[in-house]
Amino acid sequence: MDLQAVVAGFRGVAPLPGLADAWYWSPTRGIEFAGALSADGQRLLQLGGRDSYDHELVVATLEFAREREEKIFDRNPFLGALEGFRAPAGRRRFDAVVGVAPEVHRFYRVELPALTPFVRLTFPAYACEFSGGENLGEAETRYRMLRLNHLGREPLPFLKMRFANTRTGGGSTNAGRGFTEPRRLVEELGWMEGGPGSFAEFENRHGRVWRVEWHGAWYIAESDAQNSAPRETGLDELVAFAMERLRD
């Protein structure tokens, strides 16, 4: 496919200042895109911003992705992430670039389906958001959760959780731990109080798992860790500990 010819047909497209073989276009107000040819010219590396487009951040992201595309997808062909990115001064503390494969994003599937297999989305991101082991279904879930086109966003750390609460009657509906947001974990830890036998398990991007139980107080232990006997803790300490582990 002649990617340059295809992009040239986008409405309002123009060269992207500061990066060769790269373009900018905006199909509607508040939604802006930029794309660059891959180093071998075989793919379009693309990102977009919704009411948050930042030219310097976009150029830095595309340049990083072009130079390191193979490494970005080396660990995961669906949702690859590579640390070492430095956002321009004054931006969020993005420290990674994530690459999203066509099987996950399915961009252009309606208007230009033949283009979709040649497009990899790339966005500034945070290393704590990805494990590197996400399968296709998990990659699709994380892609929806992260709202990557909000270029001024805060991190949403990788978190899988399983829980059961004897006081509220709430609990996981999935067989294992499922993706959720940190605020949900914080809520469930607080709601465990007064519910004997309640528990919550949480997993970070490194695959480390902690189990919290309520037996008149909160007790926490790391699953599968040697010499990790449950220890009593307070709620504030517990929440701080959990958030620190998720940011690791």
User: Is residue 225 over pLDDT 80?
Assistant: no
**Helix (H) and strand (E) counts in the chain:** 6, 13
Q: Quick one: how far is CA 176 from the chain centroid?
A: 20
User: Is residue 228 over pLDDT 80?
Assistant: no
Contact (CB, 8 A) for 148 and 98: yes
The string of pLDDT tens digits covering residues 14-59 is 999 999 999 999 999 999 999 999 999 999 999 999 999 999 999 9
Contact (CB, 8 A) for 98 and 130: yes
Q: What is the DSSP letter of 153?
A: P
Q: Which two tokens stand for residue 57?
A: 């951040």
Quick one: what percent of the chain has pLDDT higher than 70? Answer: 100
- Give one DSSP letter per residue of 6-22, joined into a string: HHHTSTT-EE-TTSTTE
Q: What is the pLDDT of residue 142?
A: 98
Q: What is the pLDDT of residue 4?
A: 96
Q: What is the pLDDT of residue 178?
A: 96
Contact (CB, 8 A) for 137 and 179: no
The helix (H) or strand (E) run that includes residue 183 is helix 182-191
Q: What is the pLDDT of residue 108?
A: 95
Where residue 175 falls among pLDDT bands split at 50, 70, 90?
confident
Q: What is the pLDDT of residue 174?
A: 79
Mean pLDDT computed over 61-81: 97
Question: Which of 173-182, 190-199, 208-217 is least confident?
Answer: 173-182
0.85 surpassed by pTM? yes
